[in-house]
Amino acid sequence: MIKIYHNPRCRKSREGLDLLEKSGKDFEVVLYLENVPTPNELQTILKQLGIPAMELVRKNEAIWKEKYKGKTLSENEIINAMVENPKLIERPIVVNGNRAVIGRPLEEINKIV
């Protein structure tokens, strides 16, 4: 089943959700700020995306700039930072089977739906 990691306050995330709704396919919405992915779940998502953890981080968030910017962090430390501060997770993330995309630009979602 298709899964979207969604933040209703984010315009791009809302647009991604709208695209999925219009696709007519079944999908699950994960409000990741409330149901924060575990470190293992994030590791799986990163493998599905085929990217290192740093590429999933929203580096313009104040929490990143205040606590982490300029520090040398391991993959696990970056993942743990996202678990502790889920606002740092880029959105929307759409997972379908063993593949995932970040819906920026929005057209990326079409590649796996």
CA distance 69 to 61: 10
**65 token code pair:** 């700039």
Active site residue 10: yes
If you count them, how many residues does the chain have?
113
CA distance 28 to 71: 35
Catalytic option among 5, 7, 10, 93: 10
**64 token code pair:** 């990143």
Residue 82 has phi, psi (to 5 degrees) of -70, -35
Active-site residue list: 10
